[in-house]
Each structure stands twice: as structure tokens, then as C-alpha cells.
Amino acid sequence: MTQAVSPELRDWLVSQLAAGHSVPALRASMRAAGWHDAATDIALAQLEAGFPESRAASALPPRTSMPGPDLEGSPLYIDVGDRRVQVLQTMKHPRVIVFGNLLSAEECEALIAAARVRLARSLTVETKTGGEVLNVDRTSEGMFFERGENETVRQLEERLALLLRWPLEFGEGLQILRYAPGAQYRPHYDYFDPGEPGTPTILKRGGQRVATLVMYLQEPEKGGATTFPDVGLEVAPVRGTGVFFSYDHPDPATRTLHGGAPVVAGEKWVATKWLREREFR
């Protein structure tokens, strides 16, 4: 019979491991403190048996501490120091929040200008006819900023850490994507698939992704919504706004399948911030 491990205990065990304590040391100190709980033993045994972190994470209950704004009292605005961010829409399952007034037009322009010269060509395959076949899943072009790389990036990252109540150091560098007409990002999950062989290696740096914020830097004329097919939600890519969604375990049950609909006319630019469960060095 499997016994449930409480989310608090799970979080605590994971944080202790992250802090560098070994499983045997944890077991010894817990026993010394009077813990003789079968669920704890099971959790510790799984960790000790060298379960890949991803497997242990998905076998255990969802985490309790998650990034997200303070929505107590249903505020229309959230003060983040240098601006008042609007709360435009919220959804509980999947956890989705649409923000307005996240970035100024000048910040959007500055990010685009700095990214434009560093865009990597999208992956294309040459056909026999000499034409190009676009990557079927992702037809945008992109680049990554280092965390804190320039003043615009630094200010934005500080704002997001306040808004989402998640340490700046737990965030990946900003990703910038440009979508030309016809470009799209087919529906996917942003967490790392626990079933993939490469995932345990990826998780060594910062653990799982737990949330995503897609910010719209330039709106196309038509198309380019961020879609959540499981719940029929489409978020319009309006400049300066953004869509936040979180996933407390790496599983489709979070309903966070999402994609970027094809841009029909014009160009869409976004900045994506992914948040990890621990410091991302």
C-alpha cells in the first residue's frame, strides 16, 4: 500500500536535499527527532535508491510553494515598485493569470533592438526543390539574454521577482522569440518531461520549471495568440501584457498544454521567463 507524503514534508525533504544534506543524514536526524512515519520512510527510501529526481518529483505530491502574485482580496492592480501591473484575467485550473501594463513600450523596443542582432536562424530543412521546410514544432527565431545582462533586463527581472514572489535567482535568462507570418509554436509543455533520458541532467541546474511568463513585446496584425487547447483559452498578444501560468508537478494533469498560434499577418515578438524550483546558476 502506498501512503501519502504531505506536500509540506515533500517540500522540506527536497529543500534539505537541495541544501546538500544526504539522505542517510536526513534519515538519522529525523529518527533522532522522533519521526517513525511510514510515508517518510517510503519517500526517503525512494530518494536513497537513486530515483532520478524527476521520477521522485512526479511520484510525490505537488509542491506547496509556488510562484505567483498575491491575489488576496482580488486586486485589479499590483504595485511592483516602478509600475502598477494590471490583473486582467485569472483561471484556477490550469493556473493562468493575464497581466496588463507589465512593460512599457520603450522596454519592449529596447529588448527587441538588443535581441534582433543576435537572433539564431530558425531550424529549416532544405527540400529537393531548393525551398525551405520550417521546423514543424517551432518556426520562430530566438535568443537568450543572460540574467541581468543589461539595464532593461535587470529592471524587468526585479519587477517580475516582486510580482511573482519568486527569487530572481530562480529564473532562467529571458528568451526572446520572433515570429514572422506563418510562424507558430505547436502545443507543448514547458516542464521537462520526466520520461526523457536527458531530464535528470537538465534538472541538476535549478530543478524543474514550475512556471512560465510569456510577455508580448510586439503584436502582430492578426493571429499569434497563446493558446491553451485543454481549456479552449486564447490569450491575445497585446504589447506590454503577458500571460503567466504555473505547473506544480511535471504532468499533463496541470492542463498547461499551450502553444503559439500561427501569425497570420505582421510580426510577433515575445519574451519568455521560465521559473525553476531552485536557484538557476
The phi and psi torsions of 137 (rounded to 5 degrees) equal -95, -35
259 binds ligand PD2 (CB under 6 A): yes
If one asks whether residue 185 binds ligand PD2 (CB under 6 A), the answer comes out as yes
**Partner interacting with residue 214 (select from Zn ion, ligand PD2, none; CB below 5-8 Å by kind):** ligand PD2
Q: Is there a contact between 240 and 86 (Cβ–Cβ < 8 Å)?
A: no
Give the Cα separation of 212 and 247 in Å (integer).
9
What are the start-end ranges of the E strands in the chain? Answer: 77-79, 84-91, 95-100, 124-126, 132-134, 141-144, 175-179, 185-188, 209-218, 222-223, 226-228, 233-235, 242-246, 258-260, 263-265, 268-276
Only segment of 6-14, 105-113, 244-252, 257-265 that touches ligand PD2 (CB under 6 A): 257-265
Any contact of residue 138 with ligand PD2 (CB under 6 A)? no
- Nearest approach, Cβ of 272 to ligand PD2 (angstroms)? 4
Contact pattern from residue 190 through residue 219 relative to Zn ion, giving x for each residue in contact according to CB under 5 A and a dash for the rest? x-----------------------------
Of the candidate spans 127-135, 164-172, 183-191, 195-203, the one that interacts with Zn ion by CB under 5 A turns out to be 183-191
| Dist CA 217 CA 269 (whole Å) | 5
144/8 Cα distance (integer angstroms): 34
**Contact partner at residue 270 from ligand PD2, Zn ion, none, CB < 5 to 8 Å by partner kind:** ligand PD2
Can you list the positions of beta strands (E) in 221-281? 222-223, 226-228, 233-235, 242-246, 258-260, 263-265, 268-276
177 interacts with ligand PD2 by CB under 6 A: yes
- Does 181 bind ligand PD2 (CB under 6 A)? Our answer is no
Query: Given the complex with Zn ion, which of 132 and 196 has the nearer CB atom?
Result: 196
By CB under 6 A, name the one of 141, 270, 275, 280 that touches ligand PD2.
270
Residue nearer to ligand PD2 on the CB measure, 54 or 256: 256
What type of residue is 152?
Answer: T
Please, are residues 269 and 112 in contact by the beta-carbon 8 Å criterion? Answer: yes
Q: Is 258 in the site for ligand PD2 (CB under 6 A)?
A: yes
Chain positions contacting Zn ion, by CB under 5 A: 190
Chain positions contacting ligand PD2, by CB under 6 A: 177, 185, 190, 212, 214, 226, 258-260, 270, 272
